[in-house]
Amino acid sequence: MFPLGCGIAVTHLVPLAVLGKITPSHVEATIFAFATSVIKGSRSIGGFCFAALLNYLFIGMTASDLKKLYIALFMMMGFRLLVLTYIWMIPTLEEVKEVQ
């Protein structure tokens, strides 16, 4: 379970860190709560829909035939690592001080 928890933390950390840096302090809690609920909702609903679409279009795995499960797992790991490409968006301390 630890790798799945790390994937969720990484996918939440980058957008919330960027959001925390660009949000005014007087509305930060409201924006943070809204963003977190949108992220969790999109992961819940969007994740199942996206997985079903990928399975239908590319994998073709069924409940009785799990021979292609490894393809789905590799795709899941790849998409989880894809979020690391957003790390460059987190501003440095100098950039934050420049804006504030």
CA–CA separation, 72 and 69 (whole Å): 5
Number of folded domains that form the chain: 1
Instruction: Report how far residue 25's alpha carbon sits from residue 99's, in angstroms, rounded to the nearest whole number.
Output: 13
Q: What is the pLDDT of residue 45?
A: 86
Q: How confident is residue 12, by pLDDT bands cut at 50, 70 and 90?
A: confident
pTM of the full predicted structure?
Answer: 0.55
Residue 19 has pLDDT above 80, yes or no: yes
- Assess whether pLDDT exceeds 50 at residue 1: no
Over the stretch 38-88, which tens digit does the pLDDT of each residue have? 888 877 787 788 889 989 998 999 989 999 999 988 988 888 788 778 778
Contacts of 22 by beta carbon, 8 Å cutoff, 6+ apart: none
| Domain around 81 | 2-99
Spatial CB neighbours of 31, under 8 Å, sequence gap ≥ 6: 19, 23
How many other CB atoms sit within 10 Å of the CB of residue 20?
15
